Amino acid sequence: GLAMTLIGGEKARETPIYVGMIVINGLTLATELFMSRRMRRDAFREWTSAGSQAREQVRMRDELRYARELQLSMLPERAPQLDWADMSSIFVPATEVGGDYYDYFVDGDSVALVCVDVAGHGMASGLVLAALRSGFTLLRDSLHDPAAVLQRLHTLVAETSRRRMLVAVSVVLLVRACVPGGKRARPSKG
Task: Establish how many alpha carbons lie within 13 A of residue 8's alpha carbon, considering only the half-sphere containing its beta carbon.
Answer: 0
d(CA 171, CA 144): 10
Residue 136: its pLDDT value, please? Answer: 92
Task: Report the range of poorest mean pLDDT among 6-10, 43-47, 63-67.
Answer: 6-10
Q: How far is CA 181 from CA 8, 85, 126, 186, in A?
A: 134, 21, 48, 14
Contact assessment for residue 188 and residue 86, using Cβ atoms and an 8 Å cutoff: no
Q: pTM for this one?
A: 0.61
Confidence of residue 10 (pLDDT cuts 50, 70, 90): low
- pLDDT tens across 139-179, in order? 999 999 999 999 999 888 888 777 777 888 999 999 987 65
What are 154-163's pLDDT values in tens digits?
888 888 777 7
Q: What tens digit of pLDDT does each residue of 96-130 get?
A: 666 788 999 998 889 999 998 888 777 777 788 88
Mean residue pLDDT of the chain comes to 80
Q: How far is CA 112 from the centre of its chain?
A: 30
pLDDT value for 138: 92
